[in-house]
Amino acid sequence: MIFTVAIDGPAAAGKGTISKAVAAHFGFAHLDTGLLYRAVGAKVLAGADAIQAARDLTAADLAGDLRAANVAQAASKVAVIPEVRAALLAFQQDFAARDGGAVLDGRDIGTVICPDADVKLFITASAEIRAERRFLEFSAKDDTTTRAKVLADVIARDTRDSERALAPLKPADNALTIDTSELSIADAIQAAIGHIAPSLG
Ligand code: DC
């Protein structure tokens, strides 16, 4: 059975948490496509050429810790390069078409990677709430970070991801938008599962 769930949205809206929960609930495979761009961004920070790094990417490159703020910004920068996006396309589309169902989360899954996905969700939340979530995550590891810096980073990334010419972040026409600003994690997951279940027949 091929069944694809496309989940898009800005950073820290909750799409990773929701995607993992949806995949576990239905027994589908899950791909966090942001990791592909983060892995390329990390290689560029280490001195590599972005396009070559994207073309040479292997599964092992996704295994390290890619959560750092500078890696996220580097990912957002390499993600504007058309040749980088092209190099990562086939891997994502093959993953979406695997037998047994797949959940992919990112920025352009419902619009570009899987325009024919069976179900599309757009997960969002206000920039302030998303920055607060990231601040709590980062400040546990790095006590020099500030709320203002994390908010500025979130807004810079939103702007770059939404305003780029190719595959900008935006809801697909037929996506259900879930705003998690005022939702508990459990309620957001329930809303996603409740929307997907009827399409499985
Ligand atoms: O989801 P994330 O925060 O791990 O993504 C990191 C960056 O990668 C994001 O700012 C933009 C880019 N990205 C993208 O352009 N397309 C995707 N499908 C996923 C991520």
The CATH code belonging to domain 4-193 is: 3.40.50.300
The predicted model scores a pTM of 0.96
Look at ligand 1, atom 5, and give the residue with the nearest C-alpha. Answer: 34
Contact, 7 vs 196, CB < 8 A?
A: no
pLDDT for 143: 79
Sketch the domain layout of the chain as residue ranges.
4-193
Q: What is the pLDDT of residue 144?
A: 87
Spell out, as residue ranges, where the chain has pLDDT lower than 70: none
Q: How far apart are CA 192 and CA 21, in angstroms?
A: 9
Q: Are 75 and 40 in contact (CB under 8 A)?
A: yes
Q: What digits encode the pLDDT tens for the residues 166-177? A: 999 999 999 999
Q: How far is the CA of 163 from the centre of ligand 1 (A)?
A: 13
Q: Do residues 86 and 142 touch, judged by C-beta distance below 8 A?
A: no
Chain segment 138-178, per-residue pLDDT in tens: 888 877 889 999 999 999 999 999 999 999 999 999 999 99
Q: How far apart are CA 148 and CA 132, in angstroms?
A: 10
N-terminal to C-terminal alpha carbon distance within the chain: 12
Report which ligand 1 atom has the smallest distance to the Cα of 157.
10
Chain-centre distance of CA 138, in angstroms?
18
